[in-house]
Amino acid sequence: MRRPKIFYGQLFFTLIVCAFLIVPAILSALAGVTENFFVGLKSGFTFRWIIEVWELYSETIYLSLLIAVFCLIINLFIGVLAAYSLARIGGRTARIVEEIIVLPVAIPGLAIALALIIMYGGFRDFRTSWLFILVGHVLYTLPFMVRSVLAVLTSTNFKILEEGAASLGAPFWHRFINVVLPNAKPGILAGSLMVITLSVGEFNLTWMLHTPMTKTLPVGLADSYASMRLEVASAYTLVFFVMIVPLLIAMQLLANSKRQTKNLIQDEDAH
Amino acid sequence: MIRREYPRYFLLILPAAIIFTTFFFVPMTRLAVVGATGDEGVASYLSIIQTPRHFESMVATVLLSIGVTAFALVISTIAGLFLVRNRFRGSETLVSLLTFPLAFPGVVIGFMIILLAGRQGLIGSISNYLIGYKVVLAYSMWGLFLGYLYFSIPRVILTIMAAAEKLDPALEEAAQSLGASSWEVIVDVILPALKPGLIASGAICFATSMGAFGTAFTLATNIDVLPMTIYTEFTLNANFAGAASLSIILGIITWIALLLARSLSGSTVAASG
């Protein structure tokens, strides 16, 4: 098929936009493994910047992972339960509660962090521990878990299934574990990936909440951008990409498979 | 039938409610109260108009956000429509690449702009080669503009593509068969159908730009956007009341914008510039 001229015009435009987004990321990855970025690639390939990053900043990577894991555990507990209740309660009440839960995403992280510091900054042990950052991350990620699980639950017929199980005499926790959770699984999975990705990358809240003893990966990144040579900052960014890109790819694969099953269902409806 | 078990549902939502009340409602209320403890009480909230530094920062942030939103909408509509309309080899990859920066924190986006347009950046090297001097955009209003565009485009493209997928091609064909030019089809058929999606993604983009802190922080430009002003008031000037009242005002602005977006599209993508 011959494509009209406008096709190539639009393709060119889209490629430019794509380059604007991707070229800096590639530059950063290259700079992280180049001996001297100013001289260019011909100065040689090296791992020394990555090793230097590891020596300087490995603590921040561990802390970010620790916080992300705890954030996920808390979300799995309070978020999934909350989403189930909202799916059950339904109607106006559920919509209002959902609207409230989304507030910490709608309000800039800086404002929430200020509020937390003004309120709880006086409790020194709490203020200086990583739990202070965890609190912020839980607030910020909870909406994503709740909405992701809620969306899946409202699109399935879990209520009928649950009632079937109840009529057969299954007590509540049995129904919850054997009927509700399996039905909510795709939502829980998507929500979990999102919670980890967001927690590992969170900066706006974390920058205000951190102390010199509790630096996360993005805080370390900001630090290296301000005070380290370009190669070290790039190598550090590369480490961050290596952590975050598999999560992103997993999320896209999950979204694609969901779309495919949806299309499949629609096709069957059409027949 | 299970009898309606409301008490149980409220019990199950309780852990989330307790955490929310303790760490969100109570502190935010306190923040709003602290905002009113300036020299002039509740009137301190007017400092955003009366203090020239705050007012300038507010105007600069709003103008920047509007400009970024307009550009992001135009760019994303062209690219998004193109990608929805045309399936070709590699189009899926293009979509993946365009949405790839969604999870980048604002600080990383700032660094991307430094690599693109900073002192050792790509644009500088190219301009040095072509016209003999380095064009450095990163640390001015242009740097902020590029950075905000960087985190806005993926979000806006996603929303516009979702809206465009729902368009009925039959409407366009009908318009064409009735003799409408392709320009008329775009203006009279496609854009009106996309309108809710455009307004929703524009509102998301505006809210994200207003609250973006990480990007501005990394670029450390001489233009004070509102989040940077709040940060400086709090950390350098120890003006807690001022920082608190500005944060509350900023929070209300972004919240209203996102409320508008949700009422139109039903979903919003994370805002974290």
Considering only CB atoms, which chain A residues are within 8 Å of B79? 10, 13-14, 17
Q: What is the predicted pLDDT for the residue at B273?
A: 54
- Give the closest-approach CA distance of B167 to chain A in angstroms: 16
Q: Which amino acid is at B48?
A: I
Instruction: Select the residue of B12, B94, B218 nearest A18 (Cβ to Cβ).
Output: B94
Q: Which amino acid is at B258?
A: L
What is the pLDDT averaged over residues B238-251? 91
Mutation to test the B interface, candidates A15, A84, A114, most B Cβ within 10 Å = A114
Q: What is the predicted pLDDT for the residue at A2?
A: 65
Give DSSP secondary structure letters for A191-206: HHHHHHHHHHH--HHH
Residue A135 in contact with partner chain B when CB distance is under 8 A = yes
pLDDT above 70: residue B271: no
What is the pLDDT averaged over residues B60-71? 96
What is the pLDDT averaged over residues B138-161? 92
Instruction: Determine the Cα–Cα distance for residues A205 and A208; give it in Å rounded to an integer.
Output: 6
Q: Which amino acid is at B230?
A: I
pLDDT above 90: residue B125: no
* ipTM, interface predicted TM-score of the complex: 0.88
Q: What are the beta bridge partners of residue A34?
A: A45
Considering only residues B219 and B222, tell me which one the structure prediction assigns the higher pLDDT.
B219
Q: At B264, is the pLDDT very low, low, confident or very high (cuts 50, 70, 90)?
A: confident
Q: Which amino acid is at A127?
A: R
Q: What is the predicted pLDDT for the residue at A114?
A: 94
In terms of DSSP H, where are the helices of B120-180?
A: 122-131, 141-165, 169-177
Instruction: Determine the Cα–Cα distance for residues A129 and B123; give it in Å rounded to an integer.
Output: 42
Distances (CA, A) of A219 to B21, B177, B214, B238: 27, 58, 10, 22
Instruction: Determine the Cα–Cα distance for residues A206 and A204; give it in Å rounded to an integer.
Output: 6
* CATH of region B36-265: 1.10.3720.10
Are the CB atoms for A209 and A116 separated by under 8 Å? yes
Domain boundaries, chain B: 36-265
Task: Check CB contact under 8 Å for B270 and A28.
Answer: no
Which pTM does this prediction carry? 0.89
Q: Name B118's Cβ contacts closer than 8 Å, sequence gap at least 6.
A: B124, B136, B138, B139
Backbone angles phi, psi at A45, to 5 degrees: -95, 140
Instruction: Determine the Cα–Cα distance for residues B206 and B261; give it in Å rounded to an integer.
Output: 10
Residues of chain A with confidence (pLDDT) below 70: 1-2, 259-271
Are the CB atoms for B187 and B255 separated by under 8 Å? no
Considering only residues B10 and A74, tell me which one the structure prediction assigns the higher pLDDT.
A74
Q: What is the predicted pLDDT for the residue at A1?
A: 55
Backbone angles phi, psi at A37, to 5 degrees: -65, -35
Residue A224 in contact with partner chain B when CB distance is under 8 A = no
Instruction: Select the residue of A13, A198, A204 nearest B106 (Cβ to Cβ).
Output: A204
**Mean pLDDT of chain B, nearest integer:** 87
Q: Which amino acid is at B121?
A: G
What is the pLDDT averaged over residues B174-196? 86
Q: Which domains does chain A have, with CATH numbers?
A: 56-270 (1.10.3720.10)
Considering only residues B46 and B151, tell me which one the structure prediction assigns the higher pLDDT.
B151
Find where tokens 């910047």 sit: A49
Instruction: Determine the Cα–Cα distance for residues A218 and A68; give it in Å rounded to an integer.
Output: 13
What is the pLDDT averaged over residues B216-235? 88
Q: What is the predicted pLDDT for the residue at A267?
A: 44
- Give the closest-approach CA distance of A254 to chain B in angstroms: 13
Q: At B259, is the pLDDT very low, low, confident or very high (cuts 50, 70, 90)?
A: confident
Give DSSP secondary structure letters for A201-254: H--HHHHHH-BTTB--HHHHHHHHHHHS-HHHHHHHHHHHHHHHHHHHHHHHHH
Find where tokens 């909406």 sit: A143
Considering only residues A131 and B88, tell me which one the structure prediction assigns the higher pLDDT.
A131
Task: Check CB contact under 8 Å for B250 and A144.
Answer: no
Task: Check CB contact under 8 Å for B111 and A233.
Answer: yes
Please, what's the b/e burial string for A110-147 (b: 16 or more CB within 10 A of its CB; e: otherwise)?
Answer: bbbbbbbbbbbeeeeeebeebebbbbbbbbbbbbbbbb
Considering only CB atoms, which chain B residues are within 8 Å of A10? 78-79, 82, 86
Calculated CA dihedral for residues A113, A114, A117, A120, nearest 10 degrees: -90
Q: At B1, is the pLDDT very low, low, confident or very high (cuts 50, 70, 90)?
A: very low
Q: What is the predicted pLDDT for the residue at B270?
A: 43
Q: At B269, is the pLDDT very low, low, confident or very high (cuts 50, 70, 90)?
A: very low
pLDDT above 80: residue B208: yes
Q: At B140, is the pLDDT very low, low, confident or very high (cuts 50, 70, 90)?
A: confident
Q: What is the predicted pLDDT for the residue at A173?
A: 87
In this structure, of A7-21, A235-249, B60-74, B90-104, the range with the lowest mean pLDDT score is: B90-104
Residue A230 in contact with partner chain B when CB distance is under 8 A = yes
Considering only CB atoms, which chain A residues are within 8 Å of B120? 37-38, 230
Instruction: Select the residue of A21, A84, A201 nearest B105 (Cβ to Cβ).
Output: A201
pLDDT above 50: residue B109: yes
Rg (CA), chain B: 23
Instruction: Select the residue of A79, A97, A203 nearest B106 (Cβ to Cβ).
Output: A203
Is B239 strand, coil or helix? coil
